[in-house]
Amino acid sequence: MNLTAKAIILIIILMFPIFVLHTYSHRESIQTLETEIDRANSHRLSYYLHHIETTIDQVSFFAGILMNDSDVSYFAAHYPTETGYDRHAILKTIEEKMRLFSSSFSNKWSNRIAIYFPPSQTAVSSHPGVDYDEEQLRGKLSQQWSYATINTNNIERNVLTRVFTKPNYKPDNAFESPFLIEITLFADNISTLLDTFKTEGINDPFYYHNKSQYILNNSADQAIVSEIMKHLPNTNQAEKLVVQVAGKTYGVYTQPSSRMDWVLVDYVPLEDIMSPLTKSKTLFDYSIALLMIIGIVAACLLYYYVQIPIRIMSRGVSKFRQGKYSTRLLTTNRDFSLLFQSFNEMTSEIQRLIEKVYMEEIRYKEAVMKQLQSQINPHFLYNCFAFIVSMAKLNNNHTIVAMGHSLADYYKYSTRNEQLVTNVREELDFVKNYLDIMNLQLDKFDYNLQVDPVMMDQKIPRLLIQPLIENAIVHGLEPKLGRGNLWITGVSLGTDNMIIVEDDGVGASQEEIEALNKSTGSLDKINGTGIGLWNVHQRLFHYFGPHSRLEIEASPLGGLRVKMVWKNQL
């Protein structure tokens, strides 16, 4: 571990206990504040809900009074069908009483009271526009408050409504009752009450039954409320939730009503409440960070003026060890300039000596390539001349001319010793000349040559493919009875190139093929059978390196298949 690292670690060790202590104190403060917020919100929700339930209780009390009102009971019992002044008078009396009850609500909530008399199908209301509609009334029969939309003065308004019956009547036999009382509370009342609750803090309360039935305050954020409603639990217990909406964290508090199947919900932005503590924590963190930065800068100055020059020297030695002999060191540090200069002079001299040895090795490889190239079978020339002499005795001048042209092109290419490298296109033209010469002599095989066009400009040693062709003809096709076939195929496989020479000649046994593969892959020179293949493998190895290879295997057509593989040179 260097000196700079030790200094930085020491600074961290000194600052760590302070940071941990402050983090613990901050967490305890956050927990205490959250507890107080939870308690305050729970009490506030209970207080708000009490206002709503008090009104509900008052409504239920008024419904009970009307249930026992003598005028209502008298009309239901004595005037089911009669008409006249008395009927109209008692209805007016009942209507006046309902208006009195409607206006006597302690919190001045907008409401509507209606009494329905099923026997006479009569309706009386504290507000005009209420008719007896049994089908509509049947949909409202319930022992709970229901949420609905009504039309008053051509205006659609949301309401909470409930139909009260005498104790011995239930929703299934409610229309057997002498009368039914419907009390309607307009949702605007609760929205106004929620507005009053909202002015007491940064909260945003709403009254919730389900995702389609809820009452908002008049300035509620609909988008936030919609997201919060997705997370509300189905429970009759007071709950506290933490919800993420649009990247902000909200504390959501619920208080179920014991009078209605509704829940009073309130939410507060926790981040805004916690912001003073968060800012204090952030300021402390910045202070700690600043002190650490000052200490690290001091350590970095030591690192820059001492550690970096030493590291540059170490990396330079490592690169030199990896074979990058042109590595030189540069520095503006005057204290290390003499050391760097000495290193550069030493590496320069070593590079010069290595390059000298490398050039000697290249010249040696060229000499080996020329020596291997000179080992191509000289008996081929003798056979050609013998063939020409035979054709001359037979006066077959056309064949002699064809042989002469092919032989001239063949040796024009093969005797250019000043160039050790050619491309695949020129090598294939040379192979065609050789095949034409052998066909003139033997006249017992056909050949097919297909090479991927992208390989044509690939550089290869001269006279690399011809020995494979010669081996296939001499050892495979020539001993075969009847005509044979020879296929020369070239395939480009990304970074690899492959030349395949395949014949349908007499072939060889598996033991002979294994012996050929073993002798061909040997680095020691061999004599006798397989010297041509060994020669090709050696030239591949010297030119393309150890990733090149020569593979010999049995062909499904009966002869041999020889694969010559090498990688593209960069």
DSSP string, 493-524: ETTEEEEEEEE-SS---HHHHHHHHHHHT-SS
Task: Retrieve residue 561's tokens.
Answer: 């298949």
User: Of 201, 137, 203, which Cα lies nearest the Cα of 174?
Assistant: 137
Buried b (16+ CB within 10 A) or exposed e, 47-71: ebbeebeebbebbeebbeebbebee
- Same domain membership, residue 331 and residue 395: no
Phi, psi at residue 88, to the nearest 5°?
-65, -35
- Same domain membership, residue 356 and residue 399: no
**pLDDT score recorded for residue 449:** 94
- Same domain membership, residue 361 and residue 382: no
Q: Are 268 and 201 in contact (CB under 8 A)?
A: yes
The helix/strand count (H/E) of the chain reads as: 15, 17
Check which CATH number belongs to the domain holding 398 and give it: 3.30.565.10
- Same domain membership, residue 380 and residue 350: no
The 3-state DSSP class for residue 108 equals: coil
**pLDDT score recorded for residue 156:** 82
- Same domain membership, residue 502 and residue 360: no
In angstroms, how far is the first alpha carbon of the chain from the final one?
41
Number of structural domains found in the chain: 3
User: Of 263, 198, 204, 270, which Cα lies nearest the Cα of 36?
Assistant: 270
- Same domain membership, residue 442 and residue 381: yes
DSSP letter for each residue of 31-68: HHHHHHHHHHHHHHHHHHHHHHHHHHHHHHHHHHHHHT
Q: Which domain-ending residue is among 371, 406, 440? A: 371
Its domain, for residue 548, covers 375-567
Can you state the angle between helices 397-414 and 424-442, rounded to 10 degrees? 150
Buried b (16+ CB within 10 A) or exposed e, 387-397: bbeebeeeeee
**pLDDT score recorded for residue 200:** 63
- Has residue 289 been placed in a domain? no
**pLDDT score recorded for residue 504:** 93
- Has residue 218 been placed in a domain? no
- Same domain membership, residue 498 and residue 356: no
Residue 27 CA to residue 25 CA, distance in Å, equals 5
Q: Which domain-ending residue is among 150, 167, 187? A: 187
- Has residue 525 been placed in a domain? yes
- Has residue 156 been placed in a domain? yes
What dihedral do alpha carbons 125, 131, 135, 140 form, nearest 10°? -20
- Has residue 306 been placed in a domain? no
- Has residue 460 been placed in a domain? yes
- Same domain membership, residue 428 and residue 332: no
Q: Are 520 and 552 in contact (CB under 8 A)?
A: yes
Sequence letter at residue 542: H
**pLDDT score recorded for residue 372:** 47
- Same domain membership, residue 78 and residue 135: yes
pLDDT by residue for the chain (570 residues), tens only, comes to 566 677 777 777 877 787 777 777 777 777 787 787 778 788 888 888 888 888 778 777 878 888 888 888 888 777 655 566 777 788 888 888 888 877 766 567 778 888 888 888 888 888 777 878 777 777 777 777 888 888 777 788 888 888 888 877 777 777 878 888 888 888 888 888 888 887 666 778 888 888 888 888 888 888 888 888 888 887 777 788 888 888 888 888 888 887 788 888 888 887 777 777 777 778 877 787 887 788 778 777 777 777 777 777 888 888 878 877 777 887 767 777 788 888 888 888 887 887 666 555 655 555 455 544 444 456 677 888 888 888 888 888 888 888 888 888 887 877 766 677 889 999 999 899 989 888 888 888 999 999 999 999 999 988 889 889 988 998 999 999 889 999 999 999 888 899 999 999 999 999 998 888 888 877 655 555 667 788 888 888 888 888 889 999 999 998 999 999 998 875
- For 51-58, the CB contacts below 8 A with 24+ separation are 51/107, 51/193, 52/190, 52/193, 52/207, 52/257, 52/264, 53/257, 53/258, 53/259, 53/260, 54/106, 55/105, 55/106, 55/107, 55/109, 55/185, 55/189, 56/145, 56/259, 56/260, 57/259, 58/105, 58/106
DSSP letter for each residue of 166-231: -TT--GGGGGGSS-EEEEEEEHHHHHHHHHHHHTTSS---EEEEETTEEEE-TT--HHHHHHHHTT
- Has residue 293 been placed in a domain? no
The sheet carrying 146-152 orders its strands as 122-125, 111-117, 180-186, 155-164, 146-152
- Same domain membership, residue 521 and residue 452: yes
Question: Could you tell me which residues are beta bridge partners of residue 256?
Answer: 263
Q: Which contiguous run of DSSP H or E holds residue 14? A: helix 3-67
Q: Which domain-ending residue is among 141, 171, 187? A: 187
- Has residue 562 been placed in a domain? yes
- Same domain membership, residue 491 and residue 355: no
Rg (CA), the chain: 53
- Same domain membership, residue 524 and residue 392: yes
The sheet carrying 213-216 orders its strands as 213-216, 206-210, 263-269, 248-256, 239-245
Check which CATH number belongs to the domain holding 128 and give it: 3.30.450
Residue 310 CA to residue 9 CA, distance in Å, equals 21
**pLDDT score recorded for residue 375:** 47
